[in-house]
């Protein structure tokens, strides 16, 4: 049976809609009071597991799931050995460098050498400043990263930004965008190549659906 990894949180509804477009119904995950972490499509074609966004590539890479949906930011940070098949276009946000509004820095390169940069995207932040040939100290934070500059723990942060409202409310501003992130469909490479349980056929159907949607918008 085809096994699908679906991310919890902000990507959940659109992920379920994407699979619904190709005839796979995992809407039970949206039912109030449902605490199931794994369900089957009513037709018996596939099962889905509900996991953290950051864990989706782990399940796919290990072969416990044949296909999954995950944010591009996770793929850039973790660099899993998976096949990146489709840009689904939803869940858009950007990974950006931000500082306090009162800060004199307006570009990443303006930061002094060995500044402290707080982020849960440790590898992405490290890669960014390495490309600039600017040595910084990355401070791993996995909660409210915005507190880094506010408390003086860091001069800057690298974090996901959607509307920018949280930054603004905490007196922070973006000074540089590293990349734009959207939801991606990923697959286990061998399963995709062998069309295991019709995996390649399903993803081709999803690709056709996305094309038709884009033609009508």
pLDDT tens string, the chain, 217 residues long: the values are: 999 999 999 999 999 999 999 999 999 999 988 899 999 999 899 999 999 999 999 999 999 999 999 999 999 999 999 999 999 999 999 999 999 999 999 999 999 999 999 999 999 999 999 999 999 999 999 889 999 999 999 999 999 999 999 999 999 999 999 999 999 999 999 999 999 999 999 999 999 989 888 777 6
- What is the pLDDT, as a whole number, of residue 217? 62
- Give the Cα separation of 4 and 68 in Å (integer): 5
Strands (E), 56-126: 67-71, 83-87, 93-100, 116-119
Identify whether the C-beta of residue 90 lies closer than 8 Å to the C-beta of residue 17. Answer: no
Which residue ranges make up each domain of the chain? 2-91+182-216, 93-180
- What is the pLDDT, as a whole number, of residue 34? 87
The bridge status of strand 2-7 relative to strand 46-51 is: parallel
Same fold? 2-91+182-216, 93-180: yes
Helix (H, G, I), strand (E, B) or coil at 111: coil
Q: For 2-91+182-216, which CATH class?
A: alpha beta
- Give the Cα separation of 202 and 199 in Å (integer): 5
Length of the chain measured in residues: 217
The residues with which 95 forms a beta bridge, in sequence order, are 160, 179
Give 133-181 as a DSSP string.
T---EEEE--S-TTHHHHHTS-SEEEEEESSSHHHHHTTEEEEEEEEEE
Helix-, strand-, coil-residue percentages of the chain, each rounded to 5: 40, 30, 35
The residues with which 68 forms a beta bridge, in sequence order, are 5, 186
CA-based torsion, 184, 188, 189, 194: positive or negative: negative
- What is the pLDDT, as a whole number, of residue 212? 84
Burial class (CB in 10 A: 0-12, 13-18, 19+), 9: exposed
Assign domain 93-180 one CATH number from 3.40.50.620, 3.40.190.10, 3.30.70.20, 3.30.1490.390: 3.40.190.10
Query: What's the DSSP call for residue 132?
Result: T
- What is the pLDDT, as a whole number, of residue 111? 97
């Amino acid at each position: 049976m085809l096994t699908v990894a679906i991310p919890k949180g902000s990507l959940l509804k659109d992920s379920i809609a994407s699979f619904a477009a190709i005839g796979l119904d995992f809407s039970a995950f949206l039912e109030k009071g449902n605490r199931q972490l794994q369900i089957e499509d009513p037709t018996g074609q596939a099962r889905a597991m509900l996991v953290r966004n950051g864990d989706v590539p782990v399940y796919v890479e290990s072969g416990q799931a044949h296909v999954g949906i995950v944010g591009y930011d996770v793929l850039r940070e973790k660099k899993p050995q998976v096949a990146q098949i489709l840009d689904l276009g939803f869940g858009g946000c950007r990974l950006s460098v931000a500082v306090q509004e009162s800060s004199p820095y307006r570009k990443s390169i303006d930061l002094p050498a060995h500044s402290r940069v707080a982020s849960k995207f440790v590898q992405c932040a490290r890669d960014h400043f390495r490309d600039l040939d600017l040595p910084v100290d990355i401070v791993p934070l996995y909660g409210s990263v915005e507190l880094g500059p506010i408390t003086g723990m860091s001069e800057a942060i690298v974090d996901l930004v959607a509307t920018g409202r949280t930054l603004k409310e905490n007196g922070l501003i973006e000074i540089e965008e590293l990349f734009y992130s959207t939801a991606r469909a990923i697959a286990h490479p061998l399963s995709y190549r062998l069309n295991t349980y019709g995996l390649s056929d399903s993803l081709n159907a999803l690709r056709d659906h996305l094309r038709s949607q884009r033609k009508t918008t």
